[in-house]
Structure 1
Amino acid sequence: MAWRGNLDRLATRDNLRRRNVDITSVMCHFCDEYEETVDHLLTACSVAIRVWETVSAWCNIPPIFAFEFKDLMDSHNSIQVGKKAKKIILWLAIISCWYIWKGRNELVFNQMRRSPQEIMVEIKLRGFGWVKNRPSCKYISWKDWCKYPMYML
């Protein structure tokens, strides 16, 4: 998903229109205020902004501000933390993008609206599963992960 997002190849409404797919509207499903592009959906949409604010606060890092999808994938490089923390932040950014995209698809295909808080719960769950299966982090607890994901560094 991150690879496709980086190449602007996700099936957003804007990309579908450019491929001559007959769609009723190109407006963002979440906010209905701007065209649904990869960059808008994952960086500028009000839902995405709230997710990034919550991820930043949870990780105790400076706010993640991105104008393009590529900025999200590079955001870990501008934060003054260790190499291991940068890797966790990158993976949390990828997981966050996936769950924003999944939330969008649930709205499009199942008419189920996910709040930024619900998306955040899914990010924490998937992130915990990923980190817990790393050899160096196998003793991490769910309670500690939810409180502060960088504590084990």
Structure 2
Amino acid sequence: MLHAPGKWFERKFKLGLPNEMLPMIVERLRGTPARLEERLHDVSHRRLIAKPGGEWSVQEHAGHLLDLEELWNGRILDFRLGTAALRPADLQNSKTHNANHNEHELKRILLDFRTARAHLVHSIEQCDDELLNRSALHPRLHQPMRIVDHAFFVAEHDDHHLAVISHLLHRHD
């Protein structure tokens, strides 16, 4: 069995990816809703909302991916506006903690995530070369980022939570 994924906030990132990587990264972003749906399609409601050790449930991890779409889209807007620094994330994840995702239908969370993610992908695909070459400081990492780096960061965040979901599901098999 694979080890549990490490803590997200402890991850280090080497940024400065070439813009030629963006099409592949965008495909990862575009595919996340399908991968999430595939991972959860036959999981019982009881397993979806189980909170092992008081941590987030599988369904709350799925909801968290939805919750952050507003931030990811907002950061694309920051690049468009030419801000020096990207808007900060809520490091306490208050939106997820307060959303009561376990009280909602998984189908609704997945549909809303698919819609929000399509918007993010479309926003990235509309960027011209000038916009792709702008940079802004990431507030937590204290590193300059371009859109390709931002997209990579989002894709890595997606994969982190998909790995956590898989780990939670394997733990209870």
- TM-score, normalising length: structure 2: 0.31
Higher RCO, Cα 8 Å, sep 6+:
2
